[in-house]
Structure 1
């Protein structure tokens, strides 16, 4: 017998390099960014890191545009990775948000200070921290962490395997845990928020892993596509249902849905303001897109078994985000509860399971993400001052925003646009987004949830307009000033405001593009 006849011939797997190109560009830029930190002199790192990050994201946007034209005709499904219009469109939205976020992160005021600690490892209030500030030392690894986190987000909605989903979740989350702890001021609050985020995030990951284990036990596979075929006929269907709920818990934590929202206000308040904006916008887009795939592929066929739990989550999310937000006196905590309420609105569109659910959810997330980056970019520019004119940290107390319309009318008008969009007022993208998800809710038979959503939307408009009244119809606060900066934040704010208005006045082209968004079903 010929020995070669019994030898198994190993074949190299086919790797879809073109499909992975946008992700490879982002991760490649992140790796180069690590090398910049290692080899470029300290004084030259910041401009190099900024240029590298912008080039990386713009190149990835070009790659996504190229892939979208291909995917509309030839979507691709592999055991670990799916490239369909949902994946590529979500990646494009994430890159747009990432581009705006990098501009806000890079900005520094006329005093030469940024939002980040000179040396995050310095103990708050220590001599080492004072020395780092005196020398004007500024770490730049934030750009590296953003690129790694953004790369994980881009994998998240494409995952066709629970293993890939978990790895993408951790690659997305671990840099965020670090970045939350790097605020230049109120360091202890920043580190406390990071610790809470890390601990609760670990619990959420554990829920996702346990759910994946139960689903694997019920179906014998880790592939979402295969699970969708096997689970409805599985003799261990009960274990599969519990597994679905546990995996969903891990994703609901990331979008800040109640009752998994406890981390949101503390982390939003403690994190550096540019990171709060990036996290509030990009994480929601990635997690909701992954939830769209998971829900439409695996959970929707089991909807009757899980509907009481899902409806309870939507109701609780809407009520918590709406009514707890009414009593907030800090603008970052106010936007934290606003984000919880917005998660409830998006969940209505997702759970409706109509032919346009995916497109409506993505449009809503695009508008919300861009407006959120702009709003937090504006917050980073409003600072506290004393009677001698010395400038301190962000003026996040709502009372400090009194009379901003007289001190900085352009910035106040931009914030007005973002608030109107959050409230769902016509001629803004937020109105179109809410109209789409509520229309899907009615079509999907969730009329009473839509009514509740409309009522909550009206109530949330109250705390948005409370800020509008403070800015334009109240005497200016003497302890507040809008600082001059290098201009990056102003560019991001202006672009975000323009996009928010354009998506409200001319939503047609974007809606036409999103109408092609479909989810590959098994």
Structure 2
């Protein structure tokens, strides 16, 4: 029996005309975005005008705001299920279950990272509302990316997300590594954004519009008389920009240094919410906006998937720093997600969109929890030290529950059965097999075996090696304990009982 039993009507579908977009704005449909932006402004303004808040209140406020936005997204999901998808703000944003799934994933990342960051920031110059406000702003930008129905709007969301990430990566003013990671991310991210913006310009020149629905109609109406050369050049530049944001090889070169130098909770947020937003944008642009060119860009996605799987798996196993290990592991996971994107490419623009889109979104949600839990353990164990593998020696004797939770996350990332990671990897591989991408599916399975050695190294270090008797005691803050415990429980429960999430992901619709 298929783990991803596919619902036939999961394709890009035309928006219903429930809302007169030219004359009215449906504010409740925008409520998750409004809550995030309003909450960020509230944190900054009230935090600046009042004395320092009691311990944990900044993090609680950030988590409450993001949680409220996530709940509103669930309410909107129910409305979309009843009445169908639509477009908002004169066609600038898509109001569909694809956007709501991305919103829930990103808001969940904010909640977990806020809990991790609370104790991590105490006693530092950043112990204030600014970091949490930046998390909320980045989340709003990521949701705009995943919801955008216009390339210009998508670019605005991308820049909002990116600028917040640049500041967050360099936010530890006591660390030269943090400043270096922020500078590297800013310089390389600026180049990637330039590629993406130039790609938008070329696609606009070829189609006459930046609106995704109008782009599809323009290409369909012109037949073979259009300027395909201009469009293909624009698509290539768009893929370069998006490839950087998802950390797909060979555009991954920023990830190891930035992940290592940035504060660990920030790294967790970039690896989870950043990927969810970037892959959401990639599906919007390629699957919804450019299905007529799928025969041209699908081989590029295939190559990026293979490179990401191979490079991420092989380079991860030769690292000594655990944050760099997880950075290259993130590249490998990007390769797995690209397997799902490549599967979706085969059916782009068709009535039955296959299993690709649902498998990608399910992977992003499950990976979000796993990777935040993983970096949460790293933040607790190696807060004031370099996250070298030796720091984790003997962790099972010092903190057996913490070592057990990290073991669960590592097994899930390896794709071991009865964990959520197995469900995620099985889903994208099954999606690839369903469209006869056997070669890519085989490469993905082989790379999973290679990457398993990486996770085994860390587990052996925790359970088999003796730790330093003079090492400082490990203190687990309450917020971090709750976040890590929830992530571990979710990873196991989702692996044992995946049917609810699978059924939910099967209901994803992508408006065009």
CA distance in 2 between counterparts of 1:461 and 1:184 reads: 36
1:63 aligns with 2:72: yes
Counterpart of 1:77 in 2: which secondary structure?
strand
Query: How far apart in 2 are the matches of 1:431 and 1:12?
Result: 46
Q: Once structures 1 and 2 are overlaid, which stretch shifts more, 169-178 or 482-491? A: 482-491
**Residue in 2 aligned with 1:228?**
216
CA distance in 2, matches of 1:147, 1:358: 26
CA distance in 1, matches of 2:173, 2:326: 21
| RMSD over aligned Cα atoms | 1.8
1:40-79 to structure 2, matched below 5 A, reads 40-41=50-51, 43-44=52-53, 47-73=56-82, 74-78=84-88, 79=91
> Do the aligned residues in 2 keep the contact of 1:215 with 1:243 (CA within 8 Å)?
yes
Structure 1 pair 315–12 and aligned structure 2 pair: CA distance change class (3 A): closer
Aligned residue in 2 for 1:318: 309
Deviations 1:67-116 (A, max 9, x none): 1100113211242010111001111111111111110011249xx54xxx
Give the match for residue 199 of structure 2.
211
1:102 aligned onto 2:109: no
Question: TM-score w.r.t. structure 2 length?
Answer: 0.90
The aligned residue for residue 118 of structure 1 is: 125
CA contact (8 A) 1:37 1:45 kept: no
Secondary structure of the residue aligned to 1:340 is helix
State the TM-score, normalized to the length of structure 1: 0.88
CA distance in 2, matches of 1:46, 1:140: 12
Between the aligned partners of 2:287 and 2:297, the Cα distance in structure 1 is: 13
Q: 2: distance between equivalents of 1:212 and 1:482?
A: 52
> Is the Cα–Cα contact under 8 Å of residues 231 and 240 in structure 1 kept in the other structure?
no
Provide Cα deviations, 1:222-251, integer angstroms capped at 9, x if missing partner.
101111222353521111111112112211
State the partner residue of 1:27.
37
Match among 127, 151, 165 for residue 140 of structure 2: 151
> Is this contact kept in 1: 2:343–2:355, CA < 8 A?
no
**Residue 376 (1) aligns with residue 375 (2):** yes
User: 1:433 corresponds to which residue?
Assistant: 424
Residue in 2 that maps onto 1:473: 464
User: How far did residue 49 of structure 1 move?
Assistant: 2.3
Measure the CA separation in 1 of the matches of 2:338 and 2:261. 27
For 2:161, the equivalent position in structure 1 comes to 172
| 1:308 pairs with 2:299 | yes
Query: Is the 2:60–2:115 Cα contact (8 Å) retained in structure 1?
Result: no
Q: Is the 8 A contact 2:393 2:463 kept in 1?
A: yes
Structure 2 residues not aligned, in runs of 5+: 1-20, 345-352
Please show how residues 131-146 of structure 1 align to structure 2 within 5 Å: 138-146=127-135
Larger relative CO (CA 8 A, sep 6+): 1 or 2? 2
Partner Cα separation in structure 2 for residue 423 and residue 147 of structure 1: 30
Deviations 1:450-502 (Å, cap 9, x if unpaired)?
11111100000001011111111111233544532441011100000011111
